Amino acid sequence: MQKYFEPFLWGWIVLAVIAFVLQLKIAAPYGRYSTAHKGRSVPNRVGWLLMELPAVLVFAWFFFSSGTERSVLNWLFFAAWQIHYLHRSLIFPLRLASHTKPMPLYIMLSAMGFNCINGFFNGYNLGVLQPQYALEWLFDIRNIAGMVLFVCGVTINWWADAILLRLRATGTYQIPETGLFRLISCPNYFGELLEWIGFALMTWSLPALSFALWTAANLIPRAIKHHQWYHQHFRDYPDSRRAILPYLL
């Protein structure tokens, strides 16, 4: 498996670039962009649970797939990954309003596929290929910067999600007005982007970099679409806001 790991990983990175270009043109049809279709759908809460849970399980499976002893830093990286995905798969869906639009089945299945592949690359890397990060890495500036970005990203992501969930509980879309929402339309996406850039710095690995690139490929186009949607549906939407990067984009 190790022989083919890196070639497949580079192919995965090329797919991220292609996905980025495609999603700049076409918004994934779920949430506010969902339309009536003849295909099957699943309740939104169920869809979130099933599509995110493979990231927890597949990552853990490959992380534990060898009998090699793992360093303290590997366990730290394992914990960072699982904190995000246990929240995303088990806690976040329960906070969604019951009237949330159903999720198209193919969206759920495609996300499950992504999380299986991404979980394999990162779990196999940290559990098999690089199970022993030296303790000195804990004090490396790249790891320190990565941990800071990851913690900031988690905080921003969860905080922004909480604001959006409260607004959506009313059953209507509203303009968020607090905190980073004054600067960008999608601080929840900004926070998640910071998380996985931080994780890539922490682990200093190609699989984690591929995930950061995929995160950008998925979230930047969607944030731009959200930003355009807000301007189309709210005449008083602030012109000073950007989509996902404060003052830039």
Least confident of 6-10, 64-68, 98-102, 194-198: 98-102
Collapsing DSSP to helix, strand or coil, 117 comes out as helix
| pTM, entire model | 0.91
- Cβ-based neighbours of 119, under 8 Å, separated by 6 or more: 54, 55, 56, 57, 58, 59, 61, 62
Chain centroid to CA 118: how far?
A: 11
Which tens digits make up the pLDDT trace of 213-222?
A: 999 999 999 9
pLDDT > 90: what percent of the chain?
68
Q: In this model, does residue 36 exceed pLDDT 60? A: no
In this predicted model, what pLDDT tens digit does every residue of 93-135 receive, in sequence order? 888 877 778 888 988 999 999 999 999 999 999 999 999 999 9
More confident residue, 245 or 34: 245
Q: Calculate the dihedral angle through the C-alpha atoms of 106, 15, 161, 103, rounding to the nearest 10 degrees.
A: -10
Is the predicted pLDDT of residue 66 greater than 90, yes or no? Answer: no
DSSP 100: P
Q: Which is nearest to 220 in space by CA: 239, 179, 248?
A: 248
Q: Using an 8 Å Cβ cutoff, are 154 and 191 in contact? A: yes
